[in-house]
């Protein structure tokens, strides 16, 4: 699946990092200890995916519903 990392927003403010980590916890994922990372318009972050070890980590399938992570 080719993915273009264009027009990524830099997240480097402590309150935004905390908000992103709260969202990760809500999806039963581990929070990350990054001082800065980038996200696209869906909330996908290549840096967070790398830390968590899975580029598809922010797409979670549960039964027939698909939830997309949006920070």
Among the residues of the chain, which ranges form H helices?
14-26, 46-52
pTM over 0.85: no
Residue 2, helix vs strand vs coil: coil
pLDDT digits (tens, 9 = 90+) for 14-59: 999 999 999 999 988 899 999 999 998 888 888 998 898 876 665 5
Q: What are the residue ranges spanned by the domains of the chain?
A: 9-68
Q: Are 45 and 17 in contact (CB under 8 A)?
A: no
Q: How far apart are CA 8 and CA 6, in angstroms?
A: 6
Residue located via tokens 């939830």:
67
> Which contiguous run of DSSP H or E holds residue 51?
helix 46-52
């Amino acid at each position: 699946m080719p993915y273009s990392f264009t027009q990524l927003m830099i997240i480097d403010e402590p309150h935004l990092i905390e908000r992103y980590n709260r969202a990760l916890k809500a999806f039963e994922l581990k929070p990350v200890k990054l001082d800065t990372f980038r996200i696209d318009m869906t909330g996908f972050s290549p840096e967070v995916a790398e830390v968590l070890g899975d580029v598809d980590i922010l797409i979670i399938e549960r039964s027939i519903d698909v939830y997309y992570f949006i920070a």
